Amino acid sequence: MSALIELKSVSRHYEQATGTVRAVDDISLSFFAGDFSVLAGSSGSGKTTLLNLIGGIDRPDPGEVLIDGISTHKKSESELANLRLQKIGFIFQSYNLLPVLTVYENVQFILQIRGIPNLSHADLILPVLKRLGLLELRDRFPSQLSGGQQQRVAIARAIVLKPAIVLADEPTANLDSETADNLLQLMQSLNQDDKVTFLFSSHDPEVIRRARTVIRLRDGKVIEIENR
Ligand SMILES: Nc1ncnc2c1ncn2[C@@H]1O[C@H](COP(=O)(O)OP(=O)(O)OP(=O)(O)O)[C@@H](O)[C@H]1O
Ligand SMILES: [Mg+2]
């Protein structure tokens, strides 16, 4: 089986007045369809930096990232953005919902960027909203939703076009434990029933407990990979 995402000796170093910060230091990893993995590690260990490299938001220096077998090495910014849009769903820690758009429109926005004909929008969006328990909230604005509801909209938006992999940076960080638990159950069932591939970053023990693969980072390096 070929990897959805492959990292080959990927590094990201920042030059600072105080010296070089090795945020990600020579990491090689592969992620496959169906994975439910977490990047774990303390604050500053490189989780967000690595997710940004995997998602093509940032470029490795040095190293190579392959998305679905395609090297992102020599891609222009716009080619990379296109590839990202096709293959990857993002759930950011702060959700990044657009405040002036309703729940429905926030999800629709992704379809518009991808140039999907309007005619098929409802057929794509409504089943996803239903799956995430958001159908009744479809006309509300983000400011009229709880944190957990906003997080579900962010998930809806990330999965609506059935990306190869969904990346989520600290998906439970802003949620109380009950909401976090419901959300994790939902992601687990999306993984099992709808074959959505997930990669999280988290230091939440509950996220780590539920993951099938735990990749532990320290000082930008992988120190342990645990497969369950
Ligand atoms: N733009 C930047 N310039 C300089 N240093 C940076 C930059 N971005 C991150 N770093 C440094 O790289 C290291 C890794 O940061 P990163 O944000 O990836 O950690 P993290 O594991 O996501 O932490 P947290 O759990 O707090 O979110 C840290 O030492 C951080 O200070
Ligand atoms: Mg982080």
Say if CB 154 and CB 96 are below 8 A apart.
Answer: yes
pLDDT the model gives residue 64: 95
CB atoms within 10 A of CB 75: 18
Phi-psi sector, 86: left (phi>0), alpha (psi -120 to 50), beta: alpha
Question: How far is 211 from 202, CA to CA, in rounded Å?
Answer: 11
Q: With 0.75 as the threshold, say if the pTM is over it.
A: yes
Testing ligand 1's pocket by substitution, the residue of 11, 12, 20, 21 carrying the most ligand atoms inside 8 A of its CB is 21
Which residues on neighbouring strands pair with residue 66, listed in sequence order?
6, 71
- 14 CB under 6 A from ligand 1? yes
- 48 CB under 6 A from ligand 1? yes
Give me the sign of the Cα torsion angle 92, 95, 99, 105: positive
Question: How far is 206 from 99, CA to CA, in rounded Å?
Answer: 30
Containing structural domain, residue 155: 33-56+75-227
Q: What are phi and psi of 39, to 5 degrees?
A: -90, 115
Give the closest residue to 12 by CA, choosing from 41, 65, 50, 45. 50
| Cα-to-centroid distance, 56 and ligand 1 (Å) | 17
- 172 CB under 6 A from ligand 1? no
Do the domain assignments include residue 65? no
Do the domain assignments include residue 69? no
Cα-based torsion angle of the residue sequence 74, 77, 82, 88 in order, rounded to the nearest 10 degrees: 80
Say if CB 164 and CB 88 are below 8 A apart.
Answer: yes
Do the domain assignments include residue 89? yes
| Cα-to-centroid distance, 129 and ligand 1 (Å) | 34
pLDDT the model gives residue 49: 96
CB atoms within 10 A of CB 162: 12
Do the domain assignments include residue 7? no
Pairing of strands 64-67, 19-31: unpaired
Q: How far is CA 158 from CA 105, 118, 119, 142, 166, in A?
A: 13, 19, 20, 16, 7
Ligand number nearest CA of 92 is 2
Structural domain total, the chain:
1
Give the containing element (helix H, strand E) for 192.
helix 177-193
CATH code where residue 188 lies:
3.40.50.300
pLDDT the model gives residue 174: 79
Give the closest residue to 93 by CA, choosing from 148, 169, 181. 169
Do the domain assignments include residue 181? yes
Q: Per-10-residue mean pLDDT for the chain, 228 residues long?
A: 92 94 97 96 95 91 91 88 88 86 96 94 95 94 93 92 90 84 88 91 93 97 96
Do the domain assignments include residue 169? yes
